[in-house]
Amino acid sequence: MTRILITSAIPYINGIKHLGNLVGSQLPADLYSRYMRARGHEVMFICATDEHGTPAELAAAKAGQPVAEFCAQMHETQSKIAEGFGLSFDHFGRSSSPQNQALTQHFAGQLKANGFIEEVSEKQVYSNADGRFLPDRYIEGTCPNCGYDKARGDQCENCTKQLDPTDLIEPRSAISGSTDLEVRETKHLYLRQSRLKDQLDAWIDSKADWPVLTTSIAKKWLHDGDGLRDRGITRDLDWGVPVKDGEKDWPGMEGKVFYVWFDAPIEYIAATKEWADARDMDDSAWQRWWRTDMGADDVRYVQFMGKDNVPFHTLSFPATIMGSGEPWKLVDYIKSFNYLNYDGGQFSTSQGRGIFMDQALEILDADYWRWWLLSHAPETSDSEFTWDNFQASVNKDLADVLGNFVSRVTKFCNAKFGPAVPAGGLPGPDEEDLVATLETRTRAYEAHMEAMDVRKAAAELRAIWVAGNEYLQEVAPWSTFKEDPDRAAAQIRLALNLIRVYAVLSAPFIPTASAKMLMGMNTLETSWPEDMNVALSALAPGHEFTVPEVLFAKITDEQREDWQARFAGVRA
Tell me the binding residues: 143, 146, 156, 159, 349
Residues belonging to the binding site for ATP are: 349
**In angstroms, rounded to a whole number, what is the distance separating the alpha carbons of residues 236 and 253?**
9
**In angstroms, rounded to a whole number, what is the distance separating the alpha carbons of residues 174 and 430?**
65
Please check whether residue 51 is in contact with residue 388, taking contact to mean a CB–CB distance below 8 angstroms.
Answer: no
**In angstroms, rounded to a whole number, what is the distance separating the alpha carbons of residues 310 and 214?**
6
Contacts 24+ apart (CB under 8 A), 122-125: 122/185, 122/186, 122/187, 122/188, 122/232, 123/166, 123/183, 123/184, 123/185, 123/186, 124/165, 124/183, 124/184, 124/185, 124/186, 124/188, 124/236, 125/153, 125/165, 125/166, 125/171, 125/181, 125/182, 125/183
**In angstroms, rounded to a whole number, what is the distance separating the alpha carbons of residues 507 and 505?**
6
**In angstroms, rounded to a whole number, what is the distance separating the alpha carbons of residues 518 and 406?**
11
| β-pair type (257-258, 234-235) | antiparallel
What letter would DSSP give residue 420?
B
Cross-strand partners of 42: 3
- Which residues neighbour 204 within 8 Å (Cβ) at sequence distance 6 or greater? 210, 215, 218, 219, 222, 314
Please check whether residue 228 is in contact with residue 221, taking contact to mean a CB–CB distance below 8 angstroms.
Answer: yes
Cross-strand partners of 296: none
Residues belonging to the binding site for Zn(2+) are: 143, 146, 156, 159
